[in-house]
Structure 1
Amino acid sequence: MTRKASRSFCHFGSAVLIILLFATACSSGGPSTTLRIVSGSENRPLEPIIQEWARSHNTTVEMTYQGSVDIARLLQNGGASFDGVWPANRLWIDFGDTQNIVRHDASIMRSPVILGVKRSIAESLGWLNRDVTLSNILTAAESDDLRFMMTSATQSNSGASFYFGALNAFAGSPEVVTGAHLEDSAVTEQVERILGEVDRSSGSSGFLKDLFLQQYDRFDAMVNYEAVIIETNQALLRSGREPLYAIYPVDGLTIADSPLGYIDRGEEAKEEAFLALQQHLLSETVQRQLLAQGRRTSLLGIDLSSADRSVFRPEWGIDADRLLQPIRLPSREVIEQALNLYQIALRRPSCTIYVLDFSGSMAERGEADLKAAMRTLLNQSIAQQYFLQGHPGDVTQVILFNENIINQNELSRWRVVGSDPEDLLHLSRQIEAVSSGGNTNIFDSTRLALEEMSRLRTPECLPAVILMTDGQDNSGDRSALERYVDSRENDIPVFAIMFGSADSEQLDPIVARTYGRVFDGRSDLVTAFREAKGYN
């Protein structure tokens, strides 16, 4: 039996014995067990089911949500302190589990990665009740008939799935995409064209859904899981808005199989608790709950014969009688090659302005962590470890502030156009030479960043401002910032990173007004910066 085949199910006898032993321990009031599980964000709606089980089984389950690449890298580094891993797709276990530490992994549910399009747009494009290809989607987007969103292929599974689907389609639907296809300009040029039509990116499928609902009038479609499209449509119906129509690209469809696996450290109690939780999630009762939430739970994950048509609604383009045929995903080596290619050549370029707090409260730990975070992003040998390398079309600007804009009169010296490793490393060294001191002016420095972005951005790039602060503004003009944002098109998101005693009541209105997000860097500033950059 192959390793992959053996990982698809547990040995029945031993699994039943372990579960019975665990049940006996629970009923006898044995010691509590803690399970720490790292999961993709698409599983967040399922946490109530998990916590209900935990309360009745004398177990604490701590869920941490990360992107697919971070989960894979975590496995490559030994799994940190986690006991379980639950990515959206088995490819991230296969890609990351180079040390063979994952056991007992089993698919909990399945969901195709599709394009959800406003029904009126799909009808105008002639896509209702017909097969749609990636070439059809490319033509519609390049004709300005379709404005769509998707997550980053190097940070989120749904974006990666669409990317691998595009590679498969434009390679002519081979048995599997190989390294030769990645070197074929006839393939990569078309993939670059369709990725160049992405109107907004994100590092998380869940955030993308929320963003689409917030900016419904600005976009026509988004790439996401079928289950997330169903959730979106339910929210749209509640608010009286037009739902999305499900498009399953016939030459580039992937299905997320949501494997939950155990990270084996030889701790019997944790293994017993994990297997009991896994069997609970695979039980008929829970599987019916998942099906009611729009997750596919049949043997192959592609048969909806028993599905509730009020959830899997035909008028949303979800054909319960249609057999879905996903593509075969490439080898670990080709996946890594493809993700690197996406980041340095095929994705839409980024225009990013970092607004960095060098006030007095940042001295010592804050300043050191900030400089380490910027080294991670700007030193290309480090950035490559997280698929965050630069693109030739990128623009990177740094603005420093305390009570003043420290480098306001020399911004061009703190800017890199392109992705030359030496230029980016030089920018990192400039940041290293700065010392903290003074008060805090968040609002004026953020307004300057937005003004500067309106001058620097290119038609090709996705813009973003990444603001990092450890305190409260005591020098800036909040009203002036709000007036500026309200008077513009407002398509430049501000991603704020909290550190130290940063005031969320000051940061939340900024990100809400610009459709950004707050990242909590108080425990790990480097990771917060990586996550924020992954949204751009």
Structure 2
Amino acid sequence: MKKILSVLLSLILLVSCSSTPEEKNSSSHFQTSQSSGETLKIVAGSENKELEPIIEEYAKANKQNIEIDYLGSLDIMRLLSDPDIAYDAVWPASSIWLNMGDTNHILKYQETTSQSPVVFGIKKSLAEDLGFVGKDVTVKEIIDAINSGKLKFTMTSATQSNSGASAYLGFLNALAADKNGLTSEDLANEDLQNEITSLLAGVERSSGSSNWLTELFLSGDYDAMVNYEQLVIATNKALEEEGKETLYLVYPVDGLSISDSPLAYVDKNDSAKEEAFKKFQEYLLSDEAQSQIEKTGKRSAYGTVREENRDIYKKDWGIDLDKTISPIRFPKAEVIMEALNMYQSEFKKPAFTIYVLDYSGSMGGNGGYEQMNEALEQVLVPENAKANLLLGTSKDLTYILPFSDMVLGELMASGNGEELDNLYQELSENYRPETATFMYEAIDEAISILKNNEDELKDYSPAIVVLSDGMPNGPMDFDQLKESYQSLGYDVPIFSILFGDARKEDLEEIATMSKARVFDGRSDMIKAFQNVKGYN
């Protein structure tokens, strides 16, 4: 869902850490009543939200309208293949996505605006217990800690978010035979495959967004998080304010990636727009703006931090600004894509997903039924899922519970091939919109499935995904659902896709209970389903 931010500082607070996931807007407009007439439209990674006060200040001082849409870095890469791209500039987390996406050579003036290493943030007491404090830590030592059962962590999806992709490529680089760059031969090596699978088995919750991962971490009781140094610093500030234990930053010495936050102009032969962009970029690279950027926890464009800003980067947290850090060398584009496909279909922890789908009568009258089928075709049909980097592993378990005034059936498929395709065909051919919306009862049935498979779940990433276009109107109430959910005794997110006249408050209540989030499917249900898969 998009919300508009004016240049009023009070509205900027909407993107503060106190916001709920759905309140975190995916678009920000910085407008002035005395604009120059040229609006800069920028698509940026979500980590750049931290810079909004700096951008707002520039917009007001220079009478410049700026519109920013926030997307994942991999989505930005895909946008660059569109010759009619609707943006004047792109600002992902890493230049690898520009190098891979700019096949039409439409970008100019690409410059690094800041740097932030991708690190492990581990509770200080646990980091001490693991022997990680005050020393260089290798990826192999991290794998040993995971294999011993001492370390679990949260991380963004490598196929949906730059921080996850960068960390994953760093891990692979450390495990590769040739440290000069990951190759296809490395990816085919059985020892590497076993080691990266062991490492990713330590992921206990995933996310499609680096910013939301920090919110998830702060809302739960997790031991560690893989994220940008900038966001681990922000997390530690919040933990300190709450009187909680802070995280110790571990920089994998043989598998470290750095986000270089490149800003580039999309050339459309518009000289006025080009000059507006160059002026904005020049400001971001100025001493004044760079110092402000450092205050957010990002290092400068040169990887350094001015003396007056160093107190933000605390040594007690494991940050040593005087230590030279050596990032990995990213592999060739074709190797990166091969690695991402293998992450999704072979290496990541398999998913145990239960789709709870609304087949109430209203789904037939508002186009919801057709849109839901189109979305499921993209997620469930293997060839479509693979094209969107959403194909699961051969061990995935997928359940579907269609419901109206009762659960209409229980469909199940294992793996990522023919069974999944058959499941989609059965859904599209045999189920039609019927009567009421017994949503709580259907979710309760999903919880029962999890309970019946409890022994298997330790090796899976479980999630429930609910799509509804109406208010729950069965005999079960939310308090009864909450009691059922809490009886699980472990962490399972219940994601919701909002559609039609569904009451957002009902879905947010479920998401808050399960440390999940609500996705808006009203304008693009296919994209909403794709986003959900990025969190599982």
Shared topology, TM-score over 0.5?
yes
Q: How does 1:359-438 map to 2 (within 5 A)?
A: 359-363=360-364, 365-407=367-409, 411=410, 414-420=411-417, 422-433=418-429, 434-438=431-435
Q: How does 1:443-522 map to 2 (within 5 A)?
A: 443-456=440-453, 457-477=456-476, 478-522=478-522
What is the alpha-carbon distance in structure 2 between the residues aligned to residue 198 and residue 27 of structure 1? 44
Distance 1:525 1:55, change over 3 A: farther
2:270 to 267, 270, 289: 267
What is the alpha-carbon distance in structure 1 between the residues aligned to residue 142 and residue 71 of structure 2? 29
Residue by residue over 1:421-453, the C-alpha shift from the partner in whole angstroms, topping out at 9 and shown as x without a partner, is x22111111222222232222211112112212
1:30 deviation in Å? 6.2
Residue by residue over 1:250-287, the C-alpha shift from the partner in whole angstroms, topping out at 9 and shown as x without a partner, is 00001000011222233333323222222222221111
SS in 2 for 1:149: strand
What is the alpha-carbon distance in structure 1 between the residues aligned to residue 391 and residue 475 of structure 2? 33
Which runs of 5 or more residues in structure 1 are unaligned?
1-25
What is the alpha-carbon distance in structure 1 between the residues aligned to residue 200 and residue 346 of structure 2? 11
What is the alpha-carbon distance in structure 1 between the residues aligned to residue 52 and residue 449 of structure 2? 42
Q: What residue is the counterpart of 1:65 in the other structure?
A: 70
2:28 equivalent to 1:52 = no
Distance 1:268 1:174, change over 3 A: same
1:32 deviation in Å? 2.7
Native 8 Å contact 2:440 2:481 kept in 1: yes
What is the alpha-carbon distance in structure 2 between the residues aligned to residue 530 and residue 181 of structure 1? 29
Residue by residue over 1:466-486, the C-alpha shift from the partner in whole angstroms, topping out at 9 and shown as x without a partner, is 111122112252222111123
Which one is further off, 50-59 or 274-283?
Answer: 50-59
Q: How does 1:272-283 map to 2 (within 5 A)?
A: 272-283=275-286
Paired AA for residue 268 in structure 1: S
Distance 1:358 1:242, change over 3 A: same
What is the alpha-carbon distance in structure 1 between the residues aligned to residue 289 and residue 122 of structure 2? 30
2:57 equivalent to 1:82 = no
Distance 1:397 1:57, change over 3 A: same
1:185 deviation in Å? 1.2
Which one is further off, 118-127 or 475-484?
Answer: 475-484
Distance 1:318 1:425, change over 3 A: same
2:248 equivalent to 1:251 = no
Which one is further off, 430-439 or 344-353?
Answer: 430-439
1:82 deviation in Å? 2.3
Paired AA for residue 241 in structure 1: K
SS in 1 for 2:80: helix
What is the alpha-carbon distance in structure 1 between the residues aligned to residue 187 and residue 425 of structure 2? 34
2:343 equivalent to 1:347 = no
Which one is further off, 36-45 or 223-232?
Answer: 36-45
Native 8 Å contact 1:79 1:263 kept in 2: no
Indicate the RMSD between aligned Cα atoms, in angstroms.
1.9
Which runs of 5 or more residues in structure 2 are unaligned?
1-30
Distance 1:128 1:366, change over 3 A: same
Residue by residue over 1:213-258, the C-alpha shift from the partner in whole angstroms, topping out at 9 and shown as x without a partner, is 111x3x2111000001100000011011111111010000010000
Distance 1:307 1:224, change over 3 A: farther
What is the alpha-carbon distance in structure 1 between the residues aligned to residue 307 and residue 253 of structure 2? 23
Q: What residue is the counterpart of 2:7 in the other structure?
A: none
SS in 2 for 1:338: helix
Distance 1:479 1:176, change over 3 A: same
Native 8 Å contact 1:490 1:514 kept in 2: no
Native 8 Å contact 1:150 1:224 kept in 2: yes
1:76 deviation in Å? 2.3
SS in 1 for 2:457: coil
SS in 1 for 2:253: coil
Distance 1:382 1:315, change over 3 A: same
Native 8 Å contact 1:169 1:252 kept in 2: yes
TM-score (norm 2): 0.90
Distance 1:450 1:83, change over 3 A: farther
Residue by residue over 1:329-361, the C-alpha shift from the partner in whole angstroms, topping out at 9 and shown as x without a partner, is 011111111111111111110011111112222
SS in 2 for 1:222: strand
Native 8 Å contact 1:40 1:86 kept in 2: yes
1:40 to 28, 42, 45: 45
Distance 1:307 1:483, change over 3 A: same
1:192 deviation in Å? 1.2
Q: What residue is the counterpart of 2:327 in the other structure?
A: 326
SS in 1 for 2:312: coil
Residue by residue over 1:76-133, the C-alpha shift from the partner in whole angstroms, topping out at 9 and shown as x without a partner, is 2346422221111111111222222222221110000000111111111111110100
Native 8 Å contact 2:359 2:433 kept in 1: yes
SS in 2 for 1:497: strand
Distance 1:67 1:454, change over 3 A: farther
Paired AA for residue 287 in structure 2: E
What is the alpha-carbon distance in structure 2 between the residues aligned to residue 445 and residue 180 of structure 1? 47
Distance 1:437 1:418, change over 3 A: same
Q: What residue is the counterpart of 1:18 in the other structure?
A: none
What is the alpha-carbon distance in structure 2 between the residues aligned to residue 362 and residue 102 of structure 1? 43
1:203 deviation in Å? 0.9
What is the alpha-carbon distance in structure 2 between the residues aligned to residue 43 and residue 298 of structure 1? 14
What is the alpha-carbon distance in structure 2 between the residues aligned to residue 429 and residue 78 of structure 1? 35
Distance 1:344 1:315, change over 3 A: same
Q: What residue is the counterpart of 2:150 in the other structure?
A: 145
| Count of matched residue pairs | 501
2:445 equivalent to 1:442 = no
Paired AA for residue 324 in structure 2: L
Q: State the identity %.
A: 41
What is the alpha-carbon distance in structure 2 between the residues aligned to residue 73 and residue 348 of structure 1? 25
What is the alpha-carbon distance in structure 2 between the residues aligned to residue 476 and residue 103 of structure 1? 60
Native 8 Å contact 2:294 2:300 kept in 1: yes
What is the alpha-carbon distance in structure 2 between the residues aligned to residue 339 and residue 67 of structure 1? 15
Paired AA for residue 362 in structure 1: M
What is the alpha-carbon distance in structure 2 between the residues aligned to residue 225 and residue 194 of structure 1? 19
Native 8 Å contact 2:396 2:414 kept in 1: yes
Native 8 Å contact 1:141 1:197 kept in 2: yes
